[in-house]
Chains A and B, each alone.
Chain A
């Protein structure tokens, strides 16, 4: 067994803290995009999930996702690590030989936290808080934990197949984005679609602040996924920043050409799309490829936003278009641009003489779409039997801050 590395441990713990900050950052990002009567409820979705999943992960989530494979099927971990039983300060070489097992666990915890929080943007401004709580707990247990096991768990079937997902394009972004689309469809449109009320972001500086916090935290998300303070972490860090910047520039340009103005909200949406797309690829591609990934993802995601406009689905904050589609672009781009020159432990992609990798990536993407979409539908139907998913029309008109939390964001006095 290798000795614990102080440098690796310090970097992974710092990265866990960076990723933790992304969830309240997401709350600001989403909170600024909704109307002022719903800002608290939107911020609360992210903050509450941080607390809820932190406990769920320690009690059973980590064991299901990363525990010893149940019956060798590659589907889910068993419950032998329940309550972190056996997950101590010694390294687990199956995941990382140079950091304490608990450091790996807490780093992964932050990914489990932000993923269901991402979905909340789809049902913003109309979901009942109690239904949101139950949905989040069930979704984390029956969608995120198995999917994380498939891709990252020791013995997971997509892991054994050779699917590349450096930091969660499939596990985090496709799963949340597709689930968001299903959730928006099941919940139905906001009443503003009937009344014709204009829905505009209530606080754009708050959106920019949220985006900046996400971008900052994403360095931990991607570079931390190297699980060591080494060259691979640096490569992922550089790719993350480059793709985000290029995607922001591209989105800004498309929206400028399309709508005649360089939109601030558009620039932030582009940056997030770039961060999403580089997530699965960050530790496998060159900086040049990260520029192309940033370019491609904004073109595709902008098209997805326009497509969503034409669909009969009210995905309030475009979670599907940015995370679902962006994650898909990133996962497939990994199959195109991956090179062992960057990561000797991985595989080459299509452009480096290995077309089979693109096929593996497509299988992983398809599996994530089908599994997360179907499971989310079932979970929402079950939750709706126990607690109505939507608030009443009166509560929705009043705003969720007052109707669900009896608080208002901005006091008039």
Chain B
């Protein structure tokens, strides 16, 4: 019984990762834009 429930739970997690959204695009853009600033300051 424990094995069957564990199998169901594990596969449910795996399936959910393909349904869940990727990281928000907006957050990625902020990081890309923010990156050059310290370099420019240092120069």
A residues with CB within 8 A of B: 246, 249-250, 253, 256-257, 260-262, 286, 288-289, 291-292, 295, 337, 351
Contact = CB atoms under 8 A, between A and B. Distances in A.
B2 A257 contact: no
A250 B24 CA distance: 21
Contacts of A261: 23-24, 27
Contacts of A253: 13, 16-17, 20
Given A257-B16, A260-B23, A246 B10 contact: yes
Nearest to B27: A261
Contact of A291 (B6, B20, B21, B27): B6
B34 interface: no
A246 B16 CA distance: 14
Closest 4 CB pairs of A and B: A288-B2, A291-B6, A288-B3, A256-B20
Chain B, interface SS category: helix
Contacts of B16: 253, 256-257
Given A249-B13, A253-B13, A253-B17, A292 B6 contact: yes
Contact of B9 (A260, A262, A292, A337): A292
Contacts, number: 43
Contacts of A288: 2-3, 5-6
A260 B2 contact: no
A411 B4 CA distance: 54
A292 B5 contact: yes
A295 B9 contact: yes
Nearest to B9: A295
Nearest to A289: B2
Contacts of A337: 2
Contacts of A260: 20-21, 23-24
Contacts of B23: 260-262
Contacts of B20: 253, 256-257, 260, 262
B2 A250 contact: no
B2 A286 contact: yes
Interface in B1-40: 1-3, 5-6, 9-10, 13, 16-17, 20-21, 23-24, 27
Nearest to A288: B2
Nearest to B5: A292
Given A253-B13, A262-B20, A295-B6, 7 more contacts: A249-B13, A256-B17, A256-B20, A260-B20, A261-B27, A289-B2, A351-B1
5 contacts: A249-B13, A253-B13, A256-B16, A260-B20, A286-B2
Nearest to B19: A257
B20 to A, nearest CB: 5
Given A256-B20, A260-B21, A292 B2 contact: yes
A295 B9 CA distance: 8
A261 B17 CA distance: 10
A343 B43 CA distance: 66
A289 B9 CA distance: 12
Contacts of A256: 16-17, 20
A291 B13 CA distance: 12
